[in-house]
Chain A
Amino acid sequence: MIKIAFLKTIIFSLILIIIQLIVIPFIAIENIVPFLPILPLVYFTLLNGQIFGTIAGALIGLFFDIISGGLLGGGVLALSTAGFITGYFYGENKSDIYTRSFWFIVYLFAATFVYSFLYASLSSNNPGLSFLSLIIFEGLLPTVYTSIIGTLFYLFISKRD
């Protein structure tokens, strides 16, 4: 069961990574873009637990780093940390409540913030970049954008049920 979920997470994320690099730049607002590959990571981590999230996050991060031509290892650490943090919200009997309620958006927000902030901190070697700028422009704004897209994803899932 977990193997199938793992495969699903990787396949969905790979598709979303390609969309992220080809289509998403067209909807960038002042260089701020939503980060789609985190959606399946958060969703399946809430269903399968912390270790699942950490390993899946690392693999998605590795694919993202290789495909995007960005800093190799930056995505691995940032996404595995996001998966690890999301894993704290995993509850064996509460998975359905977590993934099919408004809480999903809250967890997505937390995971995306951790990812965006860590990835920007690791990939930027500019000492002029202030901590506040990292928090707001690199962390918070992409997180809000991703959460808006996540809300649409959540509405799609809840309507399907």
Chain B
Amino acid sequence: MLKSILRYIANYKNYFVYLSIAIISIFLIKFNDHPKLRQVKILGLTNFAIVNYSLDQVINFFKSDKEINALKYQNAKLMMQVNLLRQNGFENKKLKDLLNLTDTSKFDLIPVNIVSKLVSRTQGTYLLNKGSNDSIKSGMPVIDEKGLVGIISEVTSEFSVVKTLKNSTLSIAVTIQRTNVDGIMDWDGKELIIKNIPTTYDVLPGDQIETSDFSTLFPPAVPVGIVLEKKANALGLLHNISVKSSADIDGAENLFIVRYLSNIQAMQIKNKLKRSNN
């Protein structure tokens, strides 16, 4: 009996090898966010990031871009401030004063360079040259001088991974600035899209889109993009909005991490409310 089983396995060993690997990889996919698997990923990422970074330094040896980086840094800071001012400035300020919330224009920006890029139509992921040693934490937003690029998903001591807007696993709560229409923006593999917006809502091509006040991931009023076009769905009651990102995501080189953690802020507000109730 055992012999015949062994003979059977020997005859079809290629299938058994493939099946075993397939089962292992399905387990890996299933438990992708398990802390131990994340540790393995971070360990590998750190080692190879050092190699990538060294190569990148060699490639950039002849580039003298210190001044350009400084200007980009200044631009990014100004962009954040201008957009905040644009957004119903006066009334908003009043409300903020009443609630004693933090001012988003005062967010600290950490300049970073891209070490490597995983370019795929569904999984935009970049490796950045700063990590927890520079107090970068998972969940911090990443911008360039024009707008939002993505969010930090993994952090090692020296490096961090950013999930870009062109990653189908990232959904963002956004607002159309002119009319305050809220929606969820996704990357569908071809374009950035806000789905199921009622046709009665006033949305025009060229309208500015920014992160929403309701976003649990990003600070409010960070420019995301502009409306490209509206496409009515089959019934004609709702439409999908195509968005052109403000940030140059594909051509990005120098980025900025916004020192902002949404959960911490939420906790602070909760504590304040608790204190005021008591």
Name A's B-contacting residues (CB within 8 A).
18, 21-22, 24-25, 28, 31-33, 50-51, 54-55, 58, 61, 63, 65-74, 76-77, 80-81, 84, 87, 119-120, 122-126, 128-129, 133-134, 137-138
Contact = CB atoms under 8 A, between A and B. Distances in A.
A71 B44 contact: no
B201 interface: no
B29 A138 contact: no
Q: Which of B28, B48, B121, B250 has the most CB of A within 10 A?
A: B121
B22 A77 contact: yes
B122 A128 contact: no
B183 to A, nearest CB: 14
21 contacts: A18-B48, A22-B59, A33-B120, A66-B48, A69-B41, A69-B161, A70-B125, A72-B41, A73-B26, A73-B28, A73-B30, A76-B21, A87-B14, A120-B121, A123-B123, A124-B169, A126-B186, A126-B187, A129-B189, A133-B189, A134-B189
Interface of B: 13-14, 17-18, 21-22, 24-30, 32, 37, 40-41, 44-45, 48, 51-52, 55-56, 59, 115-125, 127, 153-154, 161, 166, 168-169, 186-190, 193, 195, 250
Q: Which of A32, A76, A134 has the most CB of B within 10 A?
A: A76
A50 B73 CA distance: 52
Nearest to B161: A69
A136 to B, nearest CB: 10
A128 B25 CA distance: 25
A31 B203 CA distance: 28
B125 A69 contact: yes
B122 A138 contact: yes
B17 A54 contact: yes
A122 B250 CA distance: 22
Nearest to A28: B119
A76 B154 CA distance: 20
B21 A137 contact: no
A32 B119 CA distance: 7
A69 B45 contact: yes
B80 to A, nearest CB: 27
Contacts of B22: 77, 80-81
Contact of B166 (A31, A119, A120): A31
A84 B153 CA distance: 32
Contacts of A77: 21-22, 25-26, 29
A125 B247 CA distance: 24
A60 to B, nearest CB: 12
Contact of A73 (B17, B18, B29): B29
A73 B22 CA distance: 9
Contacts of B27: 73
B127 A69 contact: yes
Contact of A25 (B18, B59, B119): B119
Nearest to B116: A21
B189 A126 contact: yes
B40 A66 contact: yes
Given A67-B45, A73-B27, A21 B117 contact: yes
A33 to B, nearest CB: 5
Given A22-B55, A71-B32, A84 B123 contact: no
Nearest 8 pairs between A and B by C-beta?
Answer: A73-B28, A66-B44, A77-B25, A126-B168, A21-B116, A124-B122, A73-B29, A76-B25
A28 B13 CA distance: 39
A23 B55 CA distance: 10
Contacts of B52: 18, 21-22
B169 A125 contact: yes
